[in-house]
């Protein structure tokens, strides 16, 4: 016989042996089943009757154990009513089983109250782990003071007890009696041999009584078996408490029935009364680690990913539901706070005045609005408001989130509160941006004060979350508000800082450059100029003192710095264009600077300048931008009025930067200095840059008389400015010159004196102008000299007096006031 045939013969013999053994196992199973069913029917169907009486109730705990004892075999189905559903999660049954139905797909929907059962099961496990020391102390005393006495009395009453068994039992009793709390429990299993129920650790007494023809038979002394089994259980409560907990309450079988488990969770989330028990589902995921086995290491990664993924999905859904509830409550609070806004009191004031004047209200007026606080007045407490429902739902979900601070799933520590915090941060960021109601297409946006009022109502409710949940509300608020001061939030979406920066640049300042919006120093705000056929927003509602303060509170110092940087970018772009114009007129400007005191040559040089109007227009735009920045910085300064620079400090640019960050005005704007210093190019030398800066002031000074011919250059007493915003030239000239000469480390005062001299000479020549159109608004333009001196800390009225007589300014103010009074007289 060849070698392969020998192997085949042996393999066939093994198959025959296995087949015989398999038949024996089947026969044994049939006998057990037959005996079990006969025993069941002999008892009259007590368990079946018990299940029948509770089949239509939710008393799952009472039905569970008889069901599991019956094993759901086909033989007992005739004893049960058809349609009885049992959920056997403890025995590894992962889906509802309908008794009386042969098809596996015929299953009823699971009961939502299973979540309550799982929750209390987890709570019992937690209590056992928490009080394990108490349990061990109790059982070690129980073994020494009860079990030892019980064994001693039982062994003494034995009718047959050989000498060897007697010695073993006496030693057993003495060992139990000698147990004390000071000795501890570590050596107990090794001494008694009762560490577990596995055969290798059975006590010697069992070995002696189990041999054939033993003098002492256990069947003749059943009490010995019961007592020994009781002692083994008590010993397991000492050394194998964790194994006992896993053995009695392990729910790891759900790992293999993910879909039914998820459906049960979804059903629980739909039941408001069961929301407090939803945390049981993530906790059950911590049981899945018991499914692993050292013999199957390849299953570990799959089970780990399944457990963590399922736990993460459950917690995400719980946090999402809680966040939705919180945000709905915040929205309700915002609606209530909106009723207290000043804009809603106009109708109330109007009604009060009409009532005082005994006027009849209009027949077709606006519908009656409820007064703030009317929602708190209820005649019947049974009436449930939307806010009551939200608070109830939030309380239920908070009980779920607060149940455990953290738990472990496959060596990963899971913190439920962090899921809620993460969702809250994301939703709050989106809600704050949504409150701005920004539309890029129509350039519509909410006023900063209204957004701030809504934001405060949101924050007030979030701060009250400490009464419900264990989340750190202060940390969430700080993180969200800090993200709103940045260009993008943690999700990469736009923030309030980006939205308001874009709107003020693209809507307000762009229209100011076209003349549709005018800066009013008297009102300290930009105001809209009404024009026929054009619909424009009310600029004063977005730029007055209260709105600038609200904007500073919304954006904070970081957001205001971002706004300032964007404003400086537009300023530098205008300065670049101005330098190009200076370069085009370089030769003429050099001659004007050296011959400004020679009227004959100035008459021939001035007409040779090109783009003088463009220079004034760009300088005006720079002034508008810097004026708006000054208003925003003033709002920031008012917000942080309690913070101020104290003590002696050296006047340097670093101090200016610190002051600017707090909104404190400085003689030299550090942001503008930084922006202009970055304009230096490698192609031009510092001397050329310095020369260009000097000639820029010359260009502006000699171009001022051109403004007199503009009909919009009339000084307005009511507005304390000009309709074409040329009063912004004062801030532009002072701030830009100070920054330019700081960059080049030159004396600012010297160059400003030169500018005053050139501008004075140019304006004085308007008095000799024969063309009345070119000198129409000469008095109004003369007031610019006074505005420039008031704007600068480097210039004084005495300096102006040396080159421009103050009597001319006095006469100019008188003429402007006279023209204003004449315009107010009624026409005849």
**Ranges under pLDDT 50 in the chain:** 1-4, 36-109, 185, 187-202, 644-651
- pTM, full prediction: 0.77
Q: Map tokens 């296995």 to a residue.
A: 18
* Under 8 Å between Cβ of 393 and 271: no
Domain boundaries, the chain: 16-108, 124-249, 518-641+649-824
Calculate the CA dihedral of residues 163, 169, 174, 179 and round it to 10 degrees. 160
Q: Map tokens 């300065």 to a residue.
A: 575
Q: In 3-state terms, what secondary structure has residue 716?
A: strand
Q: In 3-state terms, what secondary structure has residue 343?
A: helix
- Rounded to the nearest 10 degrees, the angle between the axes of helix 806-824 and helix 778-791 is 120
The predicted structure's pLDDT at residue 238 = 83
Report which of 615, 616, 632 is spatially closest to residue 508, judged by C-alpha positions: 632
| Residues 6 or more apart in contact with residue 737 via CB below 8 angstroms | 693, 697, 748, 751, 752, 755
Report which of 403, 402, 416 is spatially closest to residue 466, judged by C-alpha positions: 402
Report which of 166, 236, 244, 178 is spatially closest to residue 208, judged by C-alpha positions: 166
Pairing of β 721-722 and β 715-716? antiparallel
Report which of 273, 262, 281, 264 is spatially closest to residue 112, judged by C-alpha positions: 264
Q: How far apart are the first and last CA of the chain?
A: 141
The predicted structure's pLDDT at residue 655 = 65
Please give the radius of gyration of the chain, using alpha carbons only, rounded to the nearest integer.
45
* Under 8 Å between Cβ of 513 and 504: no
Instruction: Give the start-end residues of each E strand in 113-171.
Output: none
The predicted structure's pLDDT at residue 357 = 73
Per-residue DSSP letters for 385-409? PHHHHHHHHHHHHHHHHTS-S-EEE
Residues facing residue 519 across a β-bridge: 526
The predicted structure's pLDDT at residue 365 = 59
* Under 8 Å between Cβ of 593 and 490: no
* pLDDT digits 0-9 by tens, 467-484: 888 889 999 999 999 999
The predicted structure's pLDDT at residue 645 = 44
* Under 8 Å between Cβ of 252 and 124: no
d(CA 489, CA 507): 24
């Amino acid at each position: 016989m060849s070698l392969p045939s020998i192997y085949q013969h042996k393999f066939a013999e093994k198959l025959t042996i296995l087949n015989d053994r398999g038949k024996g196992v089947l026969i044994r199973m049939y006998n057990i089943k037959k005996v079990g069913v006969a025993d069941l029917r002999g008892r009259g169907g007590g368990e079946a009757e018990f299940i029948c009486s509770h089949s239509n109730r939710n008393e799952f705990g009472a039905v569970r154990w008889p069901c599991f004892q019956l094993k759901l075999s086909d033989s007992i189905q005739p004893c049960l009513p058809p349609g009885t559903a049992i959920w056997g999660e403890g025995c590894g049954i992962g889906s509802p089983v309908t008794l009386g139905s042969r098809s596996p797909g015929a299953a009823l929907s699971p009961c939502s109250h299973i979540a309550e059962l799982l929750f209390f099961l987890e709570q019992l496990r937690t209590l056992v782990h928490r009080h394990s020391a108490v349990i061990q102390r109790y059982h070690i005393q129980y073994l020494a003071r009860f079990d030892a006495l019980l064994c001693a009395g039982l062994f003494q009453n034995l009718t047959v007890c050989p000498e060897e068994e007697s010695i073993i039992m006496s030693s057993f009793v003495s060992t139990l009696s000698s147990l004390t709390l000071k000795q501890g429990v570590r050596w107990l299993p090794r001494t008694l041999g009762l560490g577990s129920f596995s055969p290798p650790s059975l006590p010697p007494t069992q070995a002696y009584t189990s041999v054939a023809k033993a003098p002492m038979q256990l069947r003749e002394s059943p009490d010995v078996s019961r007592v020994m089994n009781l002692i083994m259980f008590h010993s397991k409560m000492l050394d194998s408490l964790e194994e006992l907990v896993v053995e009695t309450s392990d729910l790891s079988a759900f790992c293999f029935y993910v879909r039914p488990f998820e459906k049960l969770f979804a059903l629980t989330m739909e039941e408001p009364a069961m929301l407090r028990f939803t945390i049981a589902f993530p906790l059950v995921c911590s049981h899945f680690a018991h499914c692993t086995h050292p013999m199957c290491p390849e299953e570990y990664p799959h089970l780990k990913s399944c457990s963590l993924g399922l736990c993460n999905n459950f917690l995400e859904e719980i946090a999402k539901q809680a966040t939705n509830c919180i945000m709905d409550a915040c929205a309700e609070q915002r609606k209530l706070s909106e009723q207290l806004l000043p804009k809603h009191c106009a109708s109330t004031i109007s009604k009060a005045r009409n009532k005082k004047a005994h006027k009849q209200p209009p027949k077709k007026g606006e519908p009656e609005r409820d007064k703030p606080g009317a929602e708190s007045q209820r005649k019947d407490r049974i009436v449930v408001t939307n806010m009551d429902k939200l608070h109830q739902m939030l309380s239920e979900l908070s009980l779920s989130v607060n149940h455990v601070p953290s738990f472990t799933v496959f060596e990963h520590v899971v913190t439920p509160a962090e899921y809620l915090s993460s969702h809250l941060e994301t939703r709050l960021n989106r809600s704050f941006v949504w409150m701005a109601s920004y539309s890029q297409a129509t350039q519509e946006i909410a006023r900063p004060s209204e957004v701030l009022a809504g934001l405060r109502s949101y924050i007030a409710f979030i701060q009250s979350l400490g009464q419900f949940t264990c989340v750190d509300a202060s940390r969430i608020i700080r993180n969200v508000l800090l993200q709103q001061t940045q260009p993008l939030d943690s999700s990469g979406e736009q923030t309030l800082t980006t939205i308001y920066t874009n709107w003020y640049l693209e809507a307000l300042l762009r229209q100011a450059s076209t003349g549709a919006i005018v800066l009013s120093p008297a009102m300290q705000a930009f105001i809209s100029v009404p024009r026929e056929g054009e619909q424009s927003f009310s600029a004063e509602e977005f730029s007055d003192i209260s709105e600038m303060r609200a904007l500073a509170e919304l954006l904070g110092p970081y957001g205001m710095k971002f706004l300032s940087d964007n404003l400086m970018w537009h300023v530098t772009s205008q300065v670049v264009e101005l330098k190009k114009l200076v370069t085009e007129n370089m030769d003429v400007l050099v001659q004007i600077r050296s011959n400004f005191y020679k009227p004959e040559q100035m008459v021939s040089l001035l007409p040779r300048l090109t783009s003088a109007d463009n220079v004034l227009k760009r300088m005006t735009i720079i002034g508008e931008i810097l004026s708006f920045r000054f208003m925003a910085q003033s709002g920031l300064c008012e917000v942080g009025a309690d913070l101020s620079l104290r003590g002696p400090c050296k006047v340097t640019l670093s101090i200016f930067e610190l002051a600017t960050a707090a909104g404190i005005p400085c003689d030299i704007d550090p942001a503008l200095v930084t922006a202009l210093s970055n304009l230096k190019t490698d192609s031009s030398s510092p001397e050329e840059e310095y020369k260009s800066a000097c000639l820029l002031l010359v260009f502006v000074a000699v171009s001022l008389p051109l403004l007199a011919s503009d009909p919009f250059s009339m000084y307005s007493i009511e507005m304390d400015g000009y309709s074409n915003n040329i009063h912004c030239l004062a801030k532009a000239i002072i701030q830009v010159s100070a920054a330019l000469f700081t960059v080049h480390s030159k004396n600012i005062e010297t160059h400003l004196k030169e500018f005053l001299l050139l501008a004075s000479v140019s304006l004085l020549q308007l008095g000799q102008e024969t063309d009345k159109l070119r000198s129409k608004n000469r008095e109004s333009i003369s007031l610019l000299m006074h505005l420039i001196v008031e704007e600068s800390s480097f210039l004084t009225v005495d300096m102006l007096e040396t080159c421009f007589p103050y009597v001319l300014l006095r006469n100019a103010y008188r003429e402007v006031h006279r023209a204003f009074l004449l315009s107010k007289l009624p026409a005849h």
